[in-house]
Amino acid sequence: MYAQMVKSEGMKSLEEMSPEERAFQERVDRGEKIEPKEWMPEGYRKTLIRQIGQHAHSEIVGQLPEGNWITRAPTLERKAILLAKVQDEAGHGLYLYSAAETLGVSRDELFEKLHSGAMKYSSIFNYPTLTWADMGAVGWLVDGAAIMNQVPLQRTSYGPYSRAMIRICKEESFHQRQGYAIMMKMAQGTPEQKEMAQDALNRFWYPSLMMFGPSDKDSVHSAQSMAWKIKMNTNDELRQKFVDETVPQAEYLGLTVPDETLTWNEARGHYDFAEPDWAEFFEVIKGNGPCNEERLGARRKAWDKGAWFRDGLTAYAEKAAARRAASNVAAE
């Protein structure tokens, strides 16, 4: 759910499907994994490229709000931990780009689509990280929300995507716990530190709820993606699960979730909670969030300014290969 509002191709009934499509759907229904060289509907391939690509972009852009605090971490240990976390995000991006590449798109093509704005990344990373407490809130809430979605995606129908998710989930729990550990420290600290922790929760609560995407009744692409098992739960299911798990964690911290309507609903066995401001969500998606320009600008700058380095390594590799070839000839 680092992938939001991924456009899916049209949904067909079993009767409307070609024999190939029907055989494919039946394999998915049986829980078989689809591998790169096997036949798949064009819509499945395209939707997966969009979804995995968006997920990969989110991991990479997601490094920026946290990278902001590496040089200003309060202790050397916290700096080393944050550095390791941000490095993990780079790794997660690479696993996912590799998975997308098995579908016949290259990583550089995906980068170009990110840089031109043709592909999106998660709305959450367009919010600023203003204080150290935000490192806690991001790990606890943002990575926590990501886990809600990524754990079921380990069972997705596409083999390379599933394997990337398994690897990511192993590492993600470290991220959430390190975030919560920061929140605990600050919530138990001086009144000013506790206030910072509360402020971070206030600012990240609703953007975290938005990560799951709009309500299912407005989500036009869910049905086909769920039939293909590239989306495992509805947006509302995951959002509810996130709220149910997170509220007691906030209570333990002694912090208040910024939602006056939040109440435990005994009959439903779930919390009732307020929806985020969806108008704000659509503005952020459109590019009008507080940090859209800064984030995309940073990615473009890194890519453009790294060109000489990528080209240099390529030139070196070519020269070294030519030298090896020449010395082989001389030795014959």
Partner 1 sequence: MTKKEWPLWEIFIRGQHGLNHRHVGSLHAPDAEMAIKNARDVYTRRKEGVSIWVVPSSAITASAPSEKGPLFDPAESKVYRHPTFFDIPDEVGHM
DSSP per residue over 260-303, as a string?
A: TT-EEETTTTEEE-PPP-HHHHHHIIIIISTTHHHHHHHHHHHH
> Is 252 among the residues that bind partner 1 (CB under 8 A)?
no
CA distances to 68, 81, 90, 128, 297 from 87, rounded to whole Å, are 13, 10, 5, 20, 20
Tell me which amino acid residue 191 is. Answer: P
Using CB under 8 A as the criterion, what x/- string covers residues 37-66 for binding partner 1? xxx---------------------------
Burial class (CB in 10 A: 0-12, 13-18, 19+), 275: middle
> Is 311 among the residues that bind partner 1 (CB under 8 A)?
yes
CB-wise, 106 or 288, nearer to partner 1?
106
Kindly determine how many residues on this chain lie close enough to bind partner 1 according to the rule CB under 8 A. Answer: 29
> In the set 76, 118, 279, 307, which binds partner 1 (CB under 8 A)?
307
Question: Of 115-154, which residues contact partner 1 (CB under 8 A)?
Answer: none
CB-wise, 90 or 130, nearer to partner 1?
90
> Is 316 among the residues that bind partner 1 (CB under 8 A)?
yes
> Is 32 among the residues that bind partner 1 (CB under 8 A)?
no
Helix (H) or strand (E) holding 32: none
> Is 20 among the residues that bind partner 1 (CB under 8 A)?
no
Alpha helices, H only, 188-234: 191-210, 222-227
Q: State how far the Cα of 26 lies from the Cα of 32, in Å rounded to an integer.
A: 9
Binding site for partner 1 (CB under 8 A): 35, 37-39, 84, 87-88, 91, 94-95, 98, 101, 106-108, 163-164, 167, 171, 304, 307, 310-311, 313-314, 316-317, 320-321
